[in-house]
Copies of this chain bind each other. A is one copy, B any other.
Amino acid sequence: MTDTGHHHKIIDISSVKQACSGCSLQQLCLPLGINGDDLQRLDALIKRHRPLTRGHHVFHLGDEFRALYAIRCGSVKTYTITEDGSEQITGFHLPGEIIGLDAINSNRHPCGAKALETTSVCDIPFNRLEELALLIPDLGRQLLRIMSREIQADEELLTLLGKKSAEERLASLLLSLSKRFQQRGFSPREFRLSMSRNDIGNYLGLAVETVSRLFTRFQQQGLIEVQNKYIRLQNMEQLQEITGLGACGKTQLAEG
């Protein structure tokens, strides 16, 4: 069950009608490489809902799997619940990204997806997508590519959590967000962190306090400028360096 049914007030006709063919995210999303009639057919099966407000779910953990969701605008976090009841965030997702892929196997969503801000998603019924993929080979290929990309991204995150220090983790996240904002036509140097410090810590496997201290330290070092949720990356080269520097000589960063 999604939460969408509960909000009858806001109806944004323009967004409801927007189709893949007019969507600026085409090149990042499922339609990549698909044109003309094929794109129309894909378009036809996608439902576009009214926006979800912050805190509402795209889908809940354990929900039956019926559709994949492409994020149109806003942002979403996906998370699982561990045996002891605590939350582990598995990803932050930006427009053009597709979530729900991990549910195909078990037919249930093994993670929940919650809007971090006002967000709208495209609802892509999986049964019909599968059928269509048999008719449009390029669509099937793109679906496999997207899943492959997701596996790759998870593997990178594994390396992050397995091997990297707190500094490296935060620097990696900031640069990852930066790159993704840039791909979407936003500034790579200045953006809003839609997730809380808590979420960041959770995602990176760090305590909130550690995240907070890192923001402070990075700011003191002139690497970034933070103002609540807004952040500007002042020295991306050095952030990049921190990312890959391993455990060695971290304190030297302030000098070099």
Measured CA separation A162–B161 after assembly (Å): 6
* Chain B minimum-CB-distance residue to A202: B162
A53 within 8 A of B: no
A82 within 8 A of B: yes
A245 within 8 A of B: yes
Measured CA separation A100–B152 after assembly (Å): 10
Could you tell me the distance in whole angstroms from the C-beta of A2 to the nearest C-beta in chain B? 20
A243 within 8 A of B: yes
A228 within 8 A of B: no
Docked complex: A114-151 residues within 8 A CB-CB of B:
130, 133-134, 137, 140-141, 143-151
Docked complex: A159-184 residues within 8 A CB-CB of B:
159, 161-163
Docked complex: A234-256 residues within 8 A CB-CB of B:
243-246
Could you tell me the distance in whole angstroms from the C-beta of A67 to the nearest C-beta in chain B? 14
Q: A88-B159, A159-B80, A159-B88 are in contact. Are A102 and B244 (CB under 8 A)?
A: no
| Interface membership of chain A positions 18-57, coded 1 if the CB is closer than 8 angstroms to chain B and 0 otherwise | 0000000000000000000000000000000000000000
Interface bin, chain A? 35 or more
Measured CA separation A205–B161 after assembly (Å): 8
Chain B binder among A8-16, A105-113, A188-196: A105-113
Give every chain B residue within 8 A of A104 (Cβ-Cβ). 144-145, 147-148
Give every chain B residue within 8 A of A137 (Cβ-Cβ). 130, 134
Give every chain B residue within 8 A of A243 (Cβ-Cβ). 83
A101 within 8 A of B: yes
Docked complex: A66-103 residues within 8 A CB-CB of B:
80, 82-84, 86, 88, 90, 101-103
- A162 near B130: Cβ-Cβ < 8 Å: no
Give every chain B residue within 8 A of A133 (Cβ-Cβ). 140
Other A-B contacts than A104-B145, A151-B154, 15 sampled, CB-CB below 8 A, are: A80-B156, A83-B243, A88-B158, A90-B159, A101-B148, A102-B151, A102-B152, A104-B144, A134-B140, A147-B147, A147-B148, A147-B151, A161-B161, A161-B205, A162-B203
Listed by A's residue number, 10 A-B pairs whose Cβ atoms lie within 8 Å are A86-B246, A88-B163, A103-B148, A104-B147, A111-B155, A133-B140, A134-B137, A143-B144, A147-B147, A150-B151
* A interface residues, Cβ below 8 angstroms from B: 80, 82-84, 86, 88, 90, 101-106, 110-111, 130, 133-134, 137, 140-141, 143-152, 154-159, 161-163, 202-205, 243-246
